[in-house]
Amino acid sequence: MSEHAAASAGEAPPRDLLVLEAGCDPEGLARYRVRLGARFEVLRASAPAGFTAARRDAREAEIDARFAARGEPLAREIQAAIARFERASFVLAGPRRSLVLERARPRIVGILNRTPDSFSDGGRWVELDDLYRRAEELLAAGATWLDLGGESTRPGATPVPVEEELARIAPAVEGLARRFDAWLSIDTRRAAVARAALAAGADMVNDVSAGHGDEHMLATCAELGAPLVLNHMRGTPETMQTAPSYGDVLDEVAAELHERLVASLNAGIALPRIALDPGLGFGKRFDDNLRLLHGVAALRTYGCPLFVGASRKAFLGTLLDGRAAAERDDATSATTAWLVARGVSAIRVHDARRASDVARVAARLTELAAPRTWGGVTPETREEGLSG
């Protein structure tokens, strides 16, 4: 079955097979560093051509195009993982329209919070006229997607009553949809709010709880044909920073996102309607956030576009010796450049102008560097390595 057919049939990719990075050897042959799980010892025992054991403790291997082109089942499985990792574009099909996402031209997502207590801009856009002016500014600055929230999910935030969140969101969505043509996602953990926002004109749901916060969320998105961002978080915003702990944060976040991906598919949400977010700052320690940023490209192995927000988050302030949220935009720009180079399709930010400029330059430089870097293989080696 082809990758597209598998996605249409609702099949999930393997959980424990992650492509970590890609490049070329000095002869131009495509090479991939792959985390293999239980498959590691099988491959190591046979030591086929094109396979090099890289790190036994992490069950990682380097695999080149000679191995990926072999015909046995395991080689085909790895070849399919590489194809998902290398996927260049996606189409998110919403209830009324679709959005094309391209790794080479990542979308800048402007943050809109109609809340009194968000960590960076709480209280600034509560009045509708102010919110609309802010939306116009974000779009003029280069954002092509707006992400609207009516409940703060900062660390320690207490939930607001659903009626209050609805009162904040419903009129705002209706007004934004009427005034602007931008893609509009609703940042909520509640199915009732998602339903109301989609009815008012929103295109997509961004759920920081990945469906854990409301047992009806996944079924609601499936029923309404709504695309969904699955964000990784342990606990709730109120509890998530109470002694979070990971062994291997990339492995654990990938496995837990995979579980939510499977739950979403089982609920009836098609794979092409799902995006993944590693949840920077959501139940993560300082080093966890940095390690996730470093390894974020591995999540591309699951065949979904990546949606990531590092903008002004606390771990950047920690890295900068306690810098306040409003003074973290240059640090955010560094993460934006990194995310572009790692193949992230949508980047959520407060400062759209800065992010748009950084993304354009980083995307061009990444394209020029492609033959010997992260996901870059020349057309010739890509064809040789993945034709099978």
Residues annotated catalytic, as ranges? 313, 348
Single out the residue of 330, 334, 342 nearest to residue 366, CA to CA.
342
Sign of the dihedral defined by the CA atoms of residues 246, 205, 343, 324, in that order = negative
Say if residues 200 and 188 touch (Cβ distance below 8 Å).
Answer: no
CA 41 to chain CA centroid, nearest Å: 30
CA distance 26 to 258: 35
CA distance 355 to 161: 34
Q: Side by side, which strands form the sheet with 30-35?
A: 18-24, 30-35, 60-64, 51-55
Say if residues 53 and 36 touch (Cβ distance below 8 Å).
Answer: no
Strand-pair category, 98-102 with 107-113: unpaired
Q: Side by side, which strands form the sheet with 228-231?
A: 274-277, 228-231, 204-207, 183-187, 145-149, 107-113, 346-349, 307-308
CA distance 217 to 228: 10
Say if residues 208 and 111 touch (Cβ distance below 8 Å).
Answer: no
Say if residues 12 and 303 touch (Cβ distance below 8 Å).
Answer: no
Number of other residues whose CB lies within 10 A of the CB of residue 361: 12
Buried b or exposed e, range 175-191, using 16+ CB within 10 angstroms: bbbeebebbbbbbbbbb
CA distance 239 to 158: 9
Q: Please give the single-letter amino acid code of residue 219.
A: A
Say if residues 62 and 275 touch (Cβ distance below 8 Å).
Answer: no
